[in-house]
């Protein structure tokens, strides 16, 4: 379960995306990642406690329906389904792009189709095969990051005959620790926070775990520790070894990735190819995990009457095949856009993902506050000072949303996301609330009690 969450959260944001955040905040991006890890920990811990108490189908969306209102449960699940659909499509576009590193003549839409066939097959077989394959893919990434951290620390503090140890001098050499000012630490949150997207999968997997009460506790704790250490330590090593202006120019070029820059320094042969293989695995793993989450979220909506009932069906292997097929819409859209060359629509789709995940995180934290206010007890995983943790998380999410004032991409996210929420709300009033089956929501909680 921890590896499934890591599969989405530990992705190209670390292997390639750190350059953009470094360009905004300079070496002070270390603080930005530390703040991001704190916000992610607040979300994971509060969600973990609720999931260990209620390992329900639909995860945090069903919890929102129970503790807030059916409307918020409806909105949370549909928004998160949009997130999974958008991320699945985006990650497969990325995976196809990485394939062209070795196969320059490969058409982008063909690469998307090949990668899509792979992850759809994995998800169709059974949840057990999905979990096993996702574990392997995530393990490869984890091992690669651990090797990077060990090698990086040696280069920073010990050095090699051909590369003297720079120590921490690069953190202050060029304009100081925060060359773009302290405000840049906050602005960089708009980039950094989405590297932690995927921790929500812990809640969704709870309903299919053999021992959810125990496994959620272990998975939540190990996930936040790994993500915090991996991201904060990795970015510290990058800015300690590579002058921040050089690291900031990496963009999406695999050959200029911070990982490549470090591996090149110790003479690793084909460092760019090695890193390309890692980011390809990272993209496939994230797409795989999000397709799984989207199919389960859609199936839970159908069971509660908030999506067409025919999507509620399960195969003999307990896989929501119909929900899985419908959740491939992001893949189809990505392939069509790649084929036609229309890119602006895809940008709007990703903006909707950005807005949706922020709202989902906020609703998870608000749900926890109501959960605690009702005095619910019996969770095997109890967060000390839970309401305080949730409030800290809400302040952090609000800080990310506030970057809309200065970050153009965040403004686009708001301009796309707000109308989407309005449309979803109107559909709820006109259609969904009349089809809602409150008995099914309560049945989910009774089943959770039995499992616990």
Question: pLDDT per residue over 361-398, tens digit each?
Answer: 999 999 999 999 987 766 677 888 889 999 999 999 99
- CA–CA gap between residue 225 and residue 218 (Å, rounded): 11
Q: Supply the pLDDT for residue 148.
A: 83
Q: Identify which of 415, 403, 4, 437 has the alpha carbon closest to the alpha carbon of residue 206.
A: 4
- Taken as a whole, the chain contains a residue count of 452
* pLDDT for residue 134 is more than 90: no
Return all residues near 444 (Cβ < 8 A) that are at least 6 apart: 56, 57, 58, 62, 303
Angle among Cα 357, 195, 408 to the nearest 5 degrees reads: 65
Per-residue model confidence (pLDDT) at position 95: 85
> What is the phi/psi pair of residue 341, to 5°?
80, 10
Calculate mean pLDDT across residues 139-167: 84
Question: Would the pLDDT of 7 be above 90?
Answer: no
**What is the rounded CA–CA span in Å between residue 219 and residue 206?**
10
Q: What angle do CA 233, 277, 137 make, to 5 degrees?
A: 75
Non-local CB neighbours of 280 within 8 Å, separated by 6+ positions: 95, 98, 99
Among candidate residues 126, 186, 160, the one with its CA nearest the CA of residue 317: 126
Is pLDDT of 224 > 60? yes
φ, ψ at 163 (rounded to 5°)? -145, 90
The answer to whether the beta carbons of residues 51 and 59 sit under 8 Å apart is yes
Residue 89 has pLDDT above 80, yes or no: yes
pLDDT over 70 at 80, yes or no: yes
Q: What is the pLDDT of residues 329-364, one digit of tens each?
A: 888 887 887 777 666 566 667 777 888 889 999 999
Q: What is the pLDDT of residue 16?
A: 66
Distance in angstroms (rounded) separating the CA atoms of residues 109 and 331? 10
Find, among 386, 411, 391, 392, the residue nearest to 401 by Cα. Answer: 411
- What average pLDDT does range 158-177 have in this prediction? 84
pLDDT computed for residue 390 by the predictor = 95
End-to-end CA distance of the chain: 17
Name the CATH code of domain 2-443 (choices 1.20.1740.10, 1.10.10.10, 1.10.357.10, 3.40.470.10). Answer: 1.20.1740.10
Backbone angles phi, psi at 160, to 5 degrees: -130, 165
Identify the CA nearest to 42 among candidates 220, 194, 288, 247: 220
CA-based nearest residue to 233, from 140, 174, 152, 142: 152
Residue 401 has pLDDT above 60, yes or no: yes
Tokens at 214, concatenated: 């125990």
Q: For the chain, which residues make up each domain, given as ranges?
A: 2-443
53-57, 284-288, 355-359: least confidently modelled range = 53-57
């Amino acid at each position: 379960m921890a590896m499934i969450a890591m599969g989405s959260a530990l992705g190209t944001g670390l292997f390639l995306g750190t350059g953009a955040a470094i360009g905004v905040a300079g070496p002070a991006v270390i603080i930005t990642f530390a703040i991001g890890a704190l916000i992610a920990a607040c979300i994971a811990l509060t969600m973990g406690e609720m999931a260990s108490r209620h390992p329900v189908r639909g995860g945090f969306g069903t919890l929102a329906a129970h503790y807030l209102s059916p409307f918020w449960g409806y909105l949370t699940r549909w928004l998160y389904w949009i997130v999974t659909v958008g991320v699945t499509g985006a990650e497969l576009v990325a995976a196809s792009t990485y394939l062209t590193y070795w196969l320059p003549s490969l058409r982008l839409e063909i690469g998307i189709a090949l990668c899509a066939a792979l992850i759809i097959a994995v998800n169709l077989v059974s949840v057990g095969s999905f979990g096993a394959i996702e574990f392997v893919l995530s393990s490869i990434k984890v091992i690669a990051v651990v090797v990077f951290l060990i090698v990086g620390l040696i280069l920073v503090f010990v050095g090699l005959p051909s590369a003297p140890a720079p120590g921490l001098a690069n953190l202050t050499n060029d304009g100081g620790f925060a060359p773009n000012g302290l405000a840049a630490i906050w602005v960089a949150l708009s980039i950094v926070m989405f590297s932690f997207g995927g921790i929500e999968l812990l809640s969704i997997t709870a309903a299919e775990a053999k021992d959810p009460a125990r496994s959620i506790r272990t998975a939540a704790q190990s996930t936040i520790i790994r993500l915090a250490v991996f991201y904060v330590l990795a970015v510290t090593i990058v800015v300690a070894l590579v002058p921040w202006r050089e690291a900031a120019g990496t963009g999406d070029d695999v050959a200029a990735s911070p990982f490549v820059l470090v591996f090149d320094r110790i003479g690793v042969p084909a460092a760019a190819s090695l890193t390309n293989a890692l980011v390809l695995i990272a993209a496939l793993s994230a797409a795989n995990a999000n397709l799984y989450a989207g199919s389960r979220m859609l199936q839970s909506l159908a069971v509660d009457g908030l999506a067409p009932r025919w999507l509620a069906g399960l195969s003999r292997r307990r896989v929501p095949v119909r929900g899985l097929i419908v959740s491939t819409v992001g893949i189809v859209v990505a392939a069509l856009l790649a084929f036609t060359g229309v890119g602006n629509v895809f940008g709007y789709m990703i903006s909707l993902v950005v807005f949706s995940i922020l709202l989902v995180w906020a609703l998870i934290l608000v749900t926890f506050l109501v959960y605690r206010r009702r005095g619910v007890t019996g969770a095997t995983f109890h967060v000390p000072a839970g309401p305080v943790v949730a409030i800290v998380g809400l302040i952090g999410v609000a800080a990310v949303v506030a970057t809309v004032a200065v970050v153009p991409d965040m403004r686009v996210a708001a301009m796309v996301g707000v109308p989407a929420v309005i449309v979803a709300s109107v559909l709820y009033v006109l259609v969904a609330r009349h089809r809602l089956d409150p008995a099914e929501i309560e049945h989910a909680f009774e089943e959770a009690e039995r499992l616990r």
